[in-house]
Amino acid sequence: MSARVLVIDDIIQNVKLLEAKLQNEYFDVITALSGKDALKILETDLPDIILLDVMMPEMDGFEVCRRIKSNPRTTHIPVIMVTALDQTSKRVEGLEAGADDFLSKPIKDLPLFARVRSLVRLKMLMDELRMREVTVENLKTIEVVKFPLKFNLAAQSTNILLIESSSSSAQRLSSYMDDFAKVDISDGNITDFNLCRYDLIMISLSLPDIDGLRLCSQIKNCEETRHTPLIVLVDEDENDKMVQAMEIGVMDYLVRPVDKNELIARVKSQIRQKMYAESLRENMKRNMEMAITDSVTGLYNRYFLNNYLKNLLCPTNEDRDSVSIIMMDIDFFKKVNDTYGHMAGDEVLVEFAKRIIRNIRTIDLAVRYGGEEFIIIIPKSDATFVKLVAERIRARIEKIPFKISNHSVPIAITVSIGVSLSADKYMDGTSLMGSADEALYQAKETGRNKVCGL
């Protein structure tokens, strides 16, 4: 996973050390030697993540962080604060200033890379949601509803599930959160809990009879709970488990013995991030329904696609040369309508759309382009990945026949697919769509039920 990292530290040796470590992991690094220099850089250059030293002259890291997080243009950028002070009070102060995480010097490589990759994944999702919001704002046919970016947790009905085998530890940790959340406790058996209702789940990785990492993976792989933030509890010497947890998708961790103030700060930070993401999703849902979604399948429609693709391939998007398109056409769909009727045809379209959604990432965009033609926009991709996705979808469509009402025998459906990848930073949406259309035509002319292109 590549990303742009802004390193801010007044000591040049520290900057060079972090720069070398991150570049060795294929991150693109920009640097600043003071808070003022960093804020000036952020006026024109937005990184994916910021590593910010605390102890700097003129303007310390806490003040820099507060300014970054109070600016609507930069508030979404994750900030990891770095300091030689290994004091809980400083970590809490940093988190309360808006930092997303805190690392102590000397920085260990594994926690550093795990934190950076985890927060970059979160920012990719936020960027995608914000990109879609910008697309909505550019559509003049609807009124955009704005949501607040700050949340008062005391006014929210916040539910947390704590999974911990030690009863005394669970009661103590639960008591830390009594002022702002209702905490349910499980010793590891979660069969009686509805995980969908929780705003955050905290999991001990020292459960005696259950693999805590596997439990985290199961929660993240479930559609209903994939956006629920997870915090894991680890012992001081469990760096490997911590790294594995972050790779799975866990957003944060707490090291035992757990400090009350640090727990509160980290939990509130994760819940605020969740609320922010949910507000963006709700904003899109309210503003796009009816106006820019297809009434049959619920996917985005052609009108939204054109505006979204224009934003995605605009000159200010540095990732515009890694945008792919999958263009699909259901084979002989007219025969379905003629044989079984248009209601049956609509059922096929609805199921087809569901199978697409189940086989793409959250950041990918599925569109019903018209009739039986569908399109998927895949940002941050390469030729190997997009062909893998296209072939997986083709196989899922062919493998399982489509059930329709009032017919006992399911209908066999296949799909022809064309794929294209933006060749350079200057390719526009028309050219990219044209390449995918040519590849789709080739698939249909050479036997259908296949993937062509690239």
Are 249 and 326 members of one domain? no
Are 308 and 426 members of one domain? yes
pLDDT at 173: 96
pLDDT at 429: 85
Are 391 and 280 members of one domain? no
Mean pLDDT of 79-84: 85
Of the pLDDT bands very low, low, confident and very high (cuts 50, 70, 90), residue 148 is very low
pLDDT at 87: 66
The catalytic residue positions are 372
pLDDT at 168: 95
pLDDT of 450 above 70: yes
Are 281 and 328 members of one domain? no
| Residue 295 domain-assigned (yes or no) | no
Tell me how far apart the alpha carbons of residues 127 and 197 are, in angstroms, rounded to a whole number. Answer: 25
pTM over 0.75: no
Of the pLDDT bands very low, low, confident and very high (cuts 50, 70, 90), residue 366 is very high
Q: Which of 86, 107, 137 is the last residue of a domain?
A: 137
Are 306 and 447 members of one domain? yes
pLDDT at 143: 47
pLDDT of 335 above 80: yes
pLDDT at 155: 44
Are 126 and 164 members of one domain? no
| Residue 243 domain-assigned (yes or no) | yes
Domain count, the chain: 3
pLDDT of 219 above 80: yes
Are 272 and 352 members of one domain? no
pLDDT at 89: 74
| Residue 143 domain-assigned (yes or no) | no
- Amino acid type, 263: L
Q: For position 169, which CATH number holds?
A: 3.40.50.2300
| More reliable by pLDDT, 108 or 30 | 30
Of the pLDDT bands very low, low, confident and very high (cuts 50, 70, 90), residue 150 is very low
pLDDT of 146 above 60: no
pLDDT, tens digit (0-9, with 9 covering 90-100), for 223-277: 889 889 999 999 988 888 888 898 888 988 898 999 888 898 889 888 888 887 8
Are 230 and 348 members of one domain? no
Degrees to nearest 5, angle at CA 164 with 158 and 170: 65
Its domain, for residue 19, covers 4-137
Tell me how far apart the alpha carbons of residues 353 and 173 are, in angstroms, rounded to a whole number. Answer: 44
Are 215 and 115 members of one domain? no
pLDDT at 191: 86
Of the pLDDT bands very low, low, confident and very high (cuts 50, 70, 90), residue 147 is very low
| Listed residue (36, 27, 33) closest to 5, CA to CA | 27
Are 239 and 337 members of one domain? no
Are 389 and 427 members of one domain? yes
Q: For all residues of the chain together, what is the average pLDDT?
A: 87
Q: What percent of the chain has pLDDT over 90?
A: 54
pLDDT of 86 above 80: no
| Residue 146 domain-assigned (yes or no) | no
pLDDT of 82 above 80: yes
Q: What percent of the chain has pLDDT over 70?
A: 92
pLDDT of 101 above 90: no
Q: How many angstroms separate the Cα of 242 from the Cα of each of 78, 114, 163, 251?
A: 19, 8, 16, 10
pLDDT of 145 above 60: no
| More reliable by pLDDT, 333 or 312 | 333
pLDDT at 291: 72
pLDDT at 288: 61
Range name among 166-175, 242-251, 328-337 with the lowest pLDDT average: 242-251
Looking from the CA of 101 toward its CB, the CA atoms found within 13 Å total: 25
Tell me how far apart the alpha carbons of residues 433 and 431 are, in angstroms, rounded to a whole number. Answer: 5
Of the pLDDT bands very low, low, confident and very high (cuts 50, 70, 90), residue 102 is confident
| Residue 157 domain-assigned (yes or no) | yes
Q: Which of 250, 285, 320 is the last residue of a domain?
A: 285
pLDDT at 136: 64
Measure the CA dihedral 171/176/181/186, to 10°: -30
| Residue 294 domain-assigned (yes or no) | no
Mean pLDDT of 320-346: 93
pLDDT at 149: 44
Q: For position 430, which CATH number holds?
A: 3.30.70.270
Mean pLDDT of 350-377: 94
pLDDT at 444: 95
Which tokens belong to 306?
A: 């054109």
Are 223 and 335 members of one domain? no
| More reliable by pLDDT, 146 or 342 | 342
pLDDT at 186: 94
Q: Which of 243, 260, 285 is the last residue of a domain?
A: 285
Tell me how far apart the alpha carbons of residues 300 and 63 are, in angstroms, rounded to a whole number. Answer: 42
| Residue 291 domain-assigned (yes or no) | no
| Residue 290 domain-assigned (yes or no) | no
CB 122 within 8 A of CB 251: yes
